[in-house]
Amino acid sequence: MENEVLTATHDFCKKYIQPYEKEIDLDGKFIKEILKELSSHGFMALPFPKKYGGLEQSTILYSKTATIISQYSGTIASVLGAHCLAVFSVLFGGGEEQKEKYLPDLIKGRLIGSFALTEQNAGSDPASIETEAIRDGNFYILNGTKVFTTNAGLSDLYIVMAKTDKERGARGISTFIIDRNDKNFVIGRQEKKMAFPGLPNASLLLNSVRIPKERLLGREGTGFIIVKKVLDIGRVAAASAAVGLAKRALIESVRYSKQREQFGKPISSFEMIQSHIADMGTKVEAAELLTLKAAEAADQKRRDAAKIAAMAKYFTAQVAVDVSCLAVQIFGGYGFIQDYVVERLYREAKMYEIIEGTNEIQKLIIANALLKEME
């Protein structure tokens, strides 16, 4: 089964993503069409329960497919990653009625989701979010602004964290579902980013958005618990995508080094280029193994799953940056030119050191876990 899915993922990417790689990257063209195809081929349903229309496959398989998709397009991998954060939020945080209402459409890709936690004054410290949700009879009224929301504008549903009790810090955070058509809900200007120009990312403006109380996920005050659970699995997906980027950089570099001749020989015959390739290959292998270990820990619901996910996210992001940097070096001047994919990979890699918790935050999680484990 696993090999069939992986072969099918490669075949899918070759047919539906590879021919449009540049258009997807530059303008976000064909994202909707590709999501539709991904959905009809079952790729959006992989890690989710059968009960809601999923395929209930392992996190390991989810990770491996995310790596393959990222090899072909970091933009598509990021759209899917952000969407899955929204799906996992409903799965981990929602009551049965909410799961039955939203999950089948999200899992089948009929609805696309976003996960909106970050605010201007609350990035690494999400407990300090200022968006507020005030109960008003059978409704909540939300006020605040979210920043950097991936899929903003593309998504139908937005998972929004807001304070229902300002006095209780992290325990005062609750999670809500906002519909793109809700009155007074506005998507801000699309961000101009260092990389991924075609990846939708914008602020969300909530100016007295009134929603029925049934759109509170689970109970009041459980928002932070949901966020932690969602990010633990999200970090495995982000690590998988970072591995995909690094693999692509390695593949492109090996190919180029065999074709490019200097001093009358392919540059692959020079020991210093071989040294770069050896470093790249070793790092990619180590990053992939650690990511698969994190996926396995998630599947086995191990107590240290969050720590290993943080390790994988931290390590793979660094590997993506290092390996794509060496790829540019192997390409020489051409690596600096936009016609060559490694130029883009180098810029894209930096994102993985920031999203879903920066490298520094991953190190805090890892160190805290180790210090507790070894008490």
Chosen residue from 57, 63, 89, 201 binding ligand FAD by CB under 6 A: 201
CB of 222 to ligand FAD, least distance (A): 17
Which of the stretches 216-224, 267-275, 285-293, 360-368 binds ligand FAD when contact is defined by CB under 6 A?
A: 360-368
Of the residues 77, 211, 295, 355, which one makes contact with ligand FAD according to CB under 6 A: 355
Single out the residue of 70, 150, 203, 253 in contact with ligand FAD (rule: CB under 6 A).
Answer: 150
Between CA 245 and CA 240 the distance in angstroms is: 9
Residues 335-354 that bind ligand FAD (CB under 6 A): 351, 354
Question: Of these residues, 252, 343, 348, 356, which one is catalytic?
Answer: 356
* Residue with Cβ nearer ligand FAD (22 or 193): 193
Tell which one of 18, 26, 358, 369 touches ligand FAD (CB under 6 A): 358
Instruction: Identify whether the C-beta of residue 375 lies closer than 8 Å to the C-beta of residue 330.
Output: no
* Nearest to ligand FAD of 170, 354 (CB atom): 354
Supply the angle between the helices 74-93 and 96-107 in degrees, to the nearest 10: 160
Active site residue 356: yes
Examine residue 361 and tell whether it contacts ligand FAD (CB under 6 A): yes
The window from 52-60, 110-118, 227-235, 335-343 that contacts ligand FAD (CB under 6 A) reads 110-118
- Cβ proximity to ligand FAD, 116 vs 277, nearer residue: 116
* Choice between 223 and 357, CB closer to ligand FAD: 357
In the bound complex, what is the minimum distance in angstroms from residue 257's beta carbon to ligand FAD?
Answer: 31
Does residue 107 belong to the site contacting ligand FAD (CB under 6 A)? no
135 forms bridges with which residues in the sheet? 140
CB closer to ligand FAD, 127 vs 251: 127
Contacting residues toward ligand FAD, per CB under 6 A: 82, 115-118, 123-124, 148-150, 193, 201, 351, 354-358, 360-361, 364
- Tell me the catalytic residues: 356
